[in-house]
Amino acid sequence: MNELPRTTQLLQQQMASGLHIGAQVYVSLRQRVVADFAIGESRPGVEMTPNTIMLWMSATKPVAAVAIAQLWEAAKLSLDDPIARHIPEFAQNGKDTITIRHILTHTVPIRWIETGWPNTPWDRIIAKICGMRMERDWAPGKKAGYSVYSTWFILGEIVRRLDGRDYARYVRDEVFSPLAMNDSWVAMTPEAYRSYDTRLGIMQKTEGGTVSDLGMDTEAACTNARPSGSGHGPMRELGRFYEMLLVGGTVPTSKTEWEGEAPAEPKRALERSGSAGASPSSGSVVHRIISPQTVEALVARHRAGLYDQTFKHIMDWGLGFVLNSNQYGPDTVPYGYGPYASPRTYGHSGFQSSVAFGDPENGLAAAIVCNGTAGEAAHDKRIRAVLTALYEDLGLTG
């Protein structure tokens, strides 16, 4: 299905110019699918299809925010809990005042460390991060700087310690399976990895006009969790995650709601949330991932007007979600959602390759990946053009 002629043509032109070798697009408007298509190749010599399993990069991060929110709803944690309340050894070197909220808003001075992932065991990575020293002249919560990966391991460890399941298992059970995201993973089992074979796309590096394997889709990388960026799945499934948020955190059980399979494990979702009711649109029974109030809390402006020391630009943040920050320069803000996105748009992008978001004022959910990391400047130009064309195709430019 594809009702996006401008967007499709543009992606094809960009592919012909060498920016990527293929692309996968999923878009729904007010819960109606308007695009679910692919072009080009998932790896050299292999056709990209809508079922290809692609790397999400940092578009994985909001999944961790939802997992933490589930534990918050279950009263197992508070957003302003010091991390050390749940991971005592994290308090080393003066980090005892860093809170869960600080991590979710990227206002913590522990951005950079070599973790050794994917070849270092989880427990050793956690120990390394717990032993980190803070950056100088940065009180937690007073400055902002995007953390690419280190702090997100800590969120995953909080989930593990409070729930008992490892992070990847928890996410698979409590987020992906109830949403029928059956081919989505933060860490695949070795059996799943091998069974996918050529259905697994291989992210390419295309910067400088050459094409080579980026090295992020090896068995080690696919089977070892990195909460900040090891998510894999078809774009239609990542789009489904945002459809869930747009309807208030609920999971419709009717097949027609998703135009696909019913949730694989709705009973678990219902037992966990303890809530069910009628869908306003269809009258079908729904199961809840998180409450509407929690969705609103996640995408509210918890961090506003702060200069990001990593991105070198003022950007606003929710709890684990990048918020539309066009008010600080629509032509310069990094990893945004294009010139026509409504002010309340939220989501997250992946390194030089993907974007996924929800635009609640327009009822728009979108997930797009380009198979080729083309360099920051080239990708910024590419994705701005794609998102501009997307809104123009949908008539959402007013």
pTM listed for this prediction: 0.91
Q: Which amino acid is at 300?
A: A
Confidence tier at 1 by pLDDT (50, 70, 90): confident
Classify residue 288: in a domain, yes or no: no
Query: Does the structure show a pLDDT above 50 at 395?
Result: yes
| For residues 178-203, average pLDDT | 96
Before 82, cis peptide (omega within 30)?
no
Which of 342, 323, 339, 340 minimizes the C-alpha distance to 331?
339
Say what the pLDDT of residue 253 is: 56
Q: Over the chain, what HEC string results?
A: CECCHHHHHHHHHHHHCCCCCEEEEEEEECCEEEEEEEEEEEECCEECCCCCEEECHHHHHHHHHHHHHHHHHCCCCCCCCEHHHHCHHHHHHHHHHCEHHHHHCCCCCCCCCCCCCCCCCHHHHHHHHHCCCCCCCCCCCCCECCCCCHHHHHHHHHHHHHHCCCHHHHHHHHHHCCCCCCCCECCCCHHHHHHHHHHECCCEECHHHCCEECCCCCHHHHHCCCCCCCCEECHHHHHHHHHHHHCCCEEECCHHHHCCCCCCCHHHHHHHHCCEEECCCCCCEEEECCCHHHHHHHCCCCECCCEECCCCEECCECCCCEECCHHHCCCCCCCCCCCCCCCCCEEEEECCCEEEEEECCCCEEEEEEECCECCHHHHHHHHHHHHHHHHHHHCCCC
Average pLDDT over residues 94-106: 97
Task: Give the total residue count for the chain.
Answer: 398
Tell me the residue range of the domain where 82 lies: 62-167
Report pLDDT for 138: 92
Q: Whole-number mean pLDDT of the chain?
A: 91
Q: What is the pLDDT of residue 208?
A: 87
Q: Looking at residue 252, what is its pLDDT? A: 65
Mean pLDDT of the region 154-160: 98
- 68 falls within a domain: yes
Q: What is the mean pLDDT of residues 215-240?
A: 97
Q: How much is the pLDDT for 287?
A: 82
In a domain, 142, yes or no: yes
- The pLDDT value given to residue 278: 40
In this prediction, what percent of the chain has a pLDDT beyond 90?
88
Banded model confidence at residue 209, pLDDT cuts 50, 70, 90: confident
Percentage above 70 pLDDT, the chain: 91
In tens, the pLDDT along 8-44 reads: 999 999 999 999 999 999 999 999 999 999 999 999 9
Burial tier of 119 (Cβ tally within 10 Å: 0-12, 13-18, 19+): exposed
Q: What total of structural domains would you count in the chain?
A: 1
Which of 212-221, 269-278, 323-332 is least confident? Answer: 269-278
Q: Which residues pair with 357 in a beta bridge?
A: 347, 366
Average pLDDT over every residue of 57-79: 98
Assigned domain for 102 exists: yes
Evaluate whether residue 133 is within a structural domain. Answer: yes
CA distance 170 to 159: 8
For residues 231-249, average pLDDT: 97
Average pLDDT (375-396) is: 97
Are the CB atoms for 77 and 71 separated by under 8 Å? yes
Q: Which residues pair with 308 in a beta bridge?
A: 144, 313
**pLDDT for res 286:** 64
8 A C-beta contact, residue 52 and residue 42: yes
pLDDT value at 248 more than 70: yes
> In this predicted model, what pLDDT tens digit does every residue of 259-306 receive, in sequence order?
444 333 333 333 343 343 444 444 455 689 999 999 999 999 999 999
- 94: in domain: yes
